[in-house]
Chain A
Amino acid sequence: MVLAAIPLAFLAIFFAWPVAAIIGRGLSVRGIREVLTDPGLRSVAWFTLWQAALSTALTVAIGLLPAYVLARYRFAGRSLVLALVTVPFVLPTVVVGAAFLALLPASLDQTVWAILIAHVYFNLAVVIRTVGTLWGQLDPRVEEAARTLGASPRQVMLRVTLPLLRPALLAAASITFLFTFTSFGIIRILGGPRHPTIEVEVWRLTTQAFELRAAAALAFLQLVAVTGLMLWWSNVQSRQAVTLRLRPRGTATPPRTARQRALVASTVAGLVAIVVIPLGRLVAGSLRDGDGLGLSAWRGLGAAPGRGPASRPVADPLAAVGTSLRFAVLATVVAVVIGGSAAVAIAASRRGGSLLDAGLMLPLGTSAVTVGFGLLITMDRRPLDLRGSWVLIPIAHAVVAVPFVVRAVLPTLRSIDPRLRDAASTLGASPARVWLEIDLPFLRRALVAGAGFAFAISLGEFGATSFLTRVGNETMPIAIARLLGRPSPANLAQSYALATVLMVLTLVVILAVDRLRGDAVGF
């Protein structure tokens, strides 16, 4: 009971209350009428919707071929390619945004195209992995049966394969739509002021225009839209009627004909190029020095902070690294304590557990901007007057990270054979001793993995932090965005250098977690 109380209290104060506050403020007739009648805000909502729909359609369309190739063909280096494809998805959005700023020509800067391309890049792994997993388990003989019945390759695709892949296609499309609908970092960096989405507009109204009522109304509508999407999705999922005959071991075979080998080789080459080139350009951009190459941007990280037009420091990159690491440690500790005790409580209880489980997953579907905005408008009065305090930043990071910790720990906890605990207690161990001797050793790896996720999430968190940051406590993503907001060649190179640091740190943490969990990367 005590174990359940800690995460419940944390969630109630730092998630439910802020969200309720948004609803309370946003649910005013005046505010909503303002949003619905203001042509500017209506065009923001419309843009948010269509860019997300188009990003999703493009990502699914582009992801199908690599999903097919990676699912159906076995070749040397396949699991490496799969791991590589996942890299963009684990990178902070600010890093992806900076990478495409470095890659794309100036003519695409602040256009819809830049946003769409970065969204595809970021979400391609969702399509390839979700659709590829199912595709690899579909029995190819169903398609062969269709061919012997006279169906052309096109007809097989449209009438057999795609209908059978429907659950995975729907899942991948929903996740991609959710991510692109609530996209913040990529839009802030690549869209500029001309292409705000609802998320960016909530941030702008709050932190620059100080129009809290409009911001709350907009955030409320966003919350309604996202909740509606999630409800629709769980409804669709529960109505999956078709029982598929799957082959869990996969159906990949080596390519046989010259055409198949060419298909595999060109797909792999394309994927590697797509993933590596933007990141390569980011690193190259950090080495720009005037017209040539040089390390001045890197030296500048430690020495003189970048200067804005008024020769006021825009951000201090090296301090940002320190701030980020400090906040990440704090957020990790909080997330592991809260998430760990929640997981133990969920596993121990019979009926209330699923409720707590569902409640803990809510922050996952809520956008980070909602969390940040909600905390900003609630934590400003007694007894919790944390206005302007840096403490809110690691707390917000922990709220975002807790679901991941629970997901990392819970399966391990459930897999412990209860008879082990029974055996220990019949041998005279007290309940506390049983937990120490049996559960903890099993849990250690899962907890460390959850901690790794929390650390990486905190390092890259941008949406919530944008609302809570104050001068002097910029994290790396905030500093990168600030430097990119005042684009002089020196600032640009320095932001690329800082984004490179953030990229490397994130990848090292994720790689370590992956090693630790020992899952083979693959379908």
Chain B
Amino acid sequence: MLEVDGVTVRFGDRVVLDEIGLAVGAGEVVGLLGPSGSGKSTLLRVIAGLLVPDRGRVAWDGDNLRTVPTHRRRFGLVFQDHQLFPHRDVAGNVGFGLSVAGRPQAEIRRRVTELLDLVGLPGFERRGVASLSGGEAQRVALARALAPSPRLLLLDEPLGALDRELHDRLALDLRRLLKEVGIAGLHVTHDPEEADAVADRVVSLEQLGR
């Protein structure tokens, strides 16, 4: 399980995160609510190892991750605006994590097909990233994050950039998907309805700090 303890981040004089504590159990999906600019994304970056906190501890199953760099943490991250690699096609994006891990080509192809089926985009392998709609791009980003089988999935406003109807449909899809994979997740959003639809348990950032 993930444990976050006393995490504090300052940008200059501004305290963005003040002694945040949080836990996510095995297979549990936690929704993290907070208005924009409240430091939710910053917390995800600290958990992912992209930002070193000024104080505090991030641990997995009791092991402190302080010296573990991002690429060895096995925490997946889905950005609000997908951040797909523009120089690779859909298969190249989804297979990226397996490719850098040195998996054989055949296995990568199999896994890419499997994940594209899972997110409802079968046959999209050779499509260019620029040709995808917003909803499709976000599904590809999700497939990409899940492909290397992370032990935790961090979701940073994953549906925030989509229009209302698509948003509601994808929120339910996302919940089904996370449960199917059985992965632990931390889902950040400013939308209480979305949090309820996706997560097992919802907390708000303001309750977590000092």
A and B: real partners?
Answer: yes
CB–CB A149/B52 < 8 A: no
Q: Is A488 an interface residue (CB 8 A)?
A: no
Give the distance to chain A from B102, nearest Cβ to Cβ, in Å.
10
Give the distance to chain B from A156, nearest Cβ to Cβ, in Å.
8
Contacts of A150 in B (CB 8 A): 71-72, 74, 97, 100-101, 148
Assuming the contacts A142-B85, A147-B70, asked whether A152 and B75 have C-beta atoms less than 8 A apart, the reply is no
Give the distance to chain A from B142, nearest Cβ to Cβ, in Å.
12
> In the docked arrangement, what's the CA distance between A155 and B70, Å?
13
Give the distance to chain B from A259, nearest Cβ to Cβ, in Å.
10
Give the distance to chain B from A422, nearest Cβ to Cβ, in Å.
40
Query: Of the candidates A142, A149, A166, which one forms a contact with B97 in the assembled complex, judged by CB atoms under 8 Å apart?
Result: A149
Binary interface encoding of chain A residues 150-174 relative to chain B, with 1 for a CB under 8 A from any of its CBs, else 0:
1111010001100110100000000
A-binding segment of B14-22, B76-84, B197-205: B76-84
Question: Which of B79, B99, B100 counts the most A-chain CB atoms under 10 A from its CB?
Answer: B100
Query: Of the candidates B86, B96, B99, which one forms a contact with A244 in the assembled complex, judged by CB atoms under 8 Å apart?
Result: B86
Interface size class of A (residues with CB under 8 A): 20 to 34
CB–CB B50/A149 < 8 A: no
Q: Is A139 an interface residue (CB 8 A)?
A: yes
> In the docked arrangement, what's the CA distance between A150 and B45, Å?
15
> In the docked arrangement, what's the CA distance between A204 and B52, Å?
61
Contacts of B130 in A (CB 8 A): 243
Assuming the contacts A150-B101, A151-B96, asked whether A144 and B50 have C-beta atoms less than 8 A apart, the reply is yes
Assuming the contacts A148-B75, A257-B52, asked whether A163 and B87 have C-beta atoms less than 8 A apart, the reply is yes
CB–CB B83/A139 < 8 A: yes
Contacts of B86 in A (CB 8 A): 142, 164, 242-245
Closest to A160 in B: B85
Give the distance to chain A from B46, nearest Cβ to Cβ, in Å.
12
Give the distance to chain A from B193, nearest Cβ to Cβ, in Å.
26
Question: Which of A151, A164, A244 counts the most B-chain CB atoms under 10 A from its CB?
Answer: A151
Contacts of B99 in A (CB 8 A): 159
A-B contacts at CB below 8 angstroms, number: 82
Binary interface encoding of chain B residues 132-161 relative to chain A, with 1 for a CB under 8 A from any of its CBs, else 0:
000000000000110110100010000000
Binary interface encoding of chain B residues 20-49 relative to chain A, with 1 for a CB under 8 A from any of its CBs, else 0:
000000000000000000000000010011
Give the distance to chain B from A45, nearest Cβ to Cβ, in Å.
36
Give the distance to chain B from A149, nearest Cβ to Cβ, in Å.
4
Q: Is A350 an interface residue (CB 8 A)?
A: no
CB–CB A141/B83 < 8 A: yes
CB–CB B148/A149 < 8 A: yes
CB–CB A148/B77 < 8 A: yes
Binary interface encoding of chain A residues 18-38 relative to chain B, with 1 for a CB under 8 A from any of its CBs, else 0:
000000000000000000000
Assuming the contacts A142-B85, A144-B50, A242-B87, asked whether A149 and B145 have C-beta atoms less than 8 A apart, the reply is yes
CB–CB A256/B87 < 8 A: no
Assuming the contacts A145-B79, A245-B86, asked whether A151 and B100 have C-beta atoms less than 8 A apart, the reply is yes
Assuming the contacts A159-B100, A164-B86, asked whether A145 and B71 have C-beta atoms less than 8 A apart, the reply is no
Contacts of B150 in A (CB 8 A): 148
Give the distance to chain B from A5, nearest Cβ to Cβ, in Å.
46
CB–CB A149/B100 < 8 A: yes
> In the docked arrangement, what's the CA distance between A160 and B74, Å?
19
CB–CB A164/B97 < 8 A: no
Q: Is A443 an interface residue (CB 8 A)?
A: no
Q: Is A146 an interface residue (CB 8 A)?
A: yes
Contacts of B96 in A (CB 8 A): 146, 149, 151, 159
> In the docked arrangement, what's the CA distance between A242 and B76, Å?
25
Give the distance to chain A from B137, nearest Cβ to Cβ, in Å.
11
> In the docked arrangement, what's the CA distance between A463 and B76, Å?
58
Contacts of A149 in B (CB 8 A): 71, 76, 96-97, 100, 144-145, 147-148
CB–CB A145/B100 < 8 A: no
Closest to A163 in B: B87
CB–CB A152/B71 < 8 A: yes
> In the docked arrangement, what's the CA distance between A43 and B62, Å?
67
Contacts of A151 in B (CB 8 A): 71, 96-97, 100
Assuming the contacts A152-B71, A257-B52, asked whether A146 and B85 have C-beta atoms less than 8 A apart, the reply is yes
> In the docked arrangement, what's the CA distance between A147 and B77, Å?
10
> In the docked arrangement, what's the CA distance between A160 and B148, Å?
17
A-B contact list, 15 entries, CB within 8 Å:
A144-B48, A145-B79, A145-B84, A146-B96, A147-B49, A147-B69, A148-B150, A149-B97, A149-B145, A149-B147, A149-B148, A150-B71, A150-B101, A151-B71, A155-B71
Q: Which residues of A contact B (CB under 8 A)?
A: 139, 141-142, 144-153, 155, 159-160, 163-164, 166, 242-245, 256-257
Q: Which residues of B contact A (CB under 8 A)?
A: 45, 48-50, 52, 69-77, 79, 83-87, 96-97, 99-101, 130, 144-145, 147-148, 150, 154
Which 8 A-B pairs have CB atoms at the shortest separation, nearest pair first? A149-B97, A148-B77, A147-B70, A151-B100, A145-B83, A163-B87, A141-B83, A155-B100
